[in-house]
Structure 1
Amino acid sequence: MSNPKFTRVPSMRERVEDTLSAHRNQLVALLSRYVAQGKGILQPHHLIDEFNSAVCDDTACEKLKEGPFCEILKSTQEAIVLPPFVAIAVRPRPGVWEYVRVNVYDLSVEQLTIPEYLRFKEELVDGEDNNLFVLELDFEPFNASVPRPSRSSSIGNGVQFLNRHLSSNMFRSKESLDPLLDFLRGHNHKGNVLMLNERIQRISRLESSLNKADDYLSKLPPDTPYTEFEYALQEMGFEKGWGDTAKRVLETMHLLSDILQAPDPSTLETFLGRLPMVFNVVILSPHGYFGQANVLGLPDTGGQVVYILDQVRALEAEMLLRIKQQGLNFKPRILVVTRLIPDAKGTTCNQRLERISGTEYSHILRVPFRTENGILHKWISRFDVWPYLEKFTEVTSLSFGNHRLLLMFCSVCLSERWQLVQIVRTCSQLLCLPTR
Structure 2
Amino acid sequence: MHYLEDLGQELLSAKFHVSSELLRLHIDGEVVDEKPLSATKDGEPSPLRKISLVSTSGTDDGIEGYLYSPKVLHPSSSIEDHYKSTGNGVEFLNRHLSAKLFHDKESLHPLLEFLQVHCYKGKNVMVNTRIQNVFSPQHRGAGGDTAERVLEMIRLLLDLLEAPDPCTLENFLGRIPRVFNVVIMSPHGYFAQDDVLGYPDTGGQVVYILDQVRALESEMLHCIKQRGLDITPRILIVTRLLPDAVGTTCNQRFLVDIPIAFTLPGLYRVVHGVDVFDPKFNIVSPGADMSIYFSYTEEKRRLKSFHAEIEELLFSDVENKEHLCVLKDWNKPILFTMARLDRVKNLTGLVEWYGKKTRLRELINLVVEQQAEMKKMYGLIETYNLNGQFRWISFQMNRVRNRELYWYICDMRGAFVQPALYEAFGLTVVEAMTCGLPTFATCKGGQIIAHVKSGFHIDPYHRDQAAEILADFFEKCKVDPSHWDKISQGAMQRIEEKYTWQIYFERLLNLTALYGFWKHVLNLDRLESLRYLEMFYALKYRKLAESVPLAVE
TM bin, normalised by shorter chain, reads 0.3 to 0.5
Q: Taking CA–CA contacts closer than 8 Å with sequence separation of 6 or more, which of the two structures ends up with the larger relative contact order?
A: 2
Q: More helix by proportion, 1 or 2? A: 1
Q: Over alpha carbons, which structure has the higher Rg?
A: 1
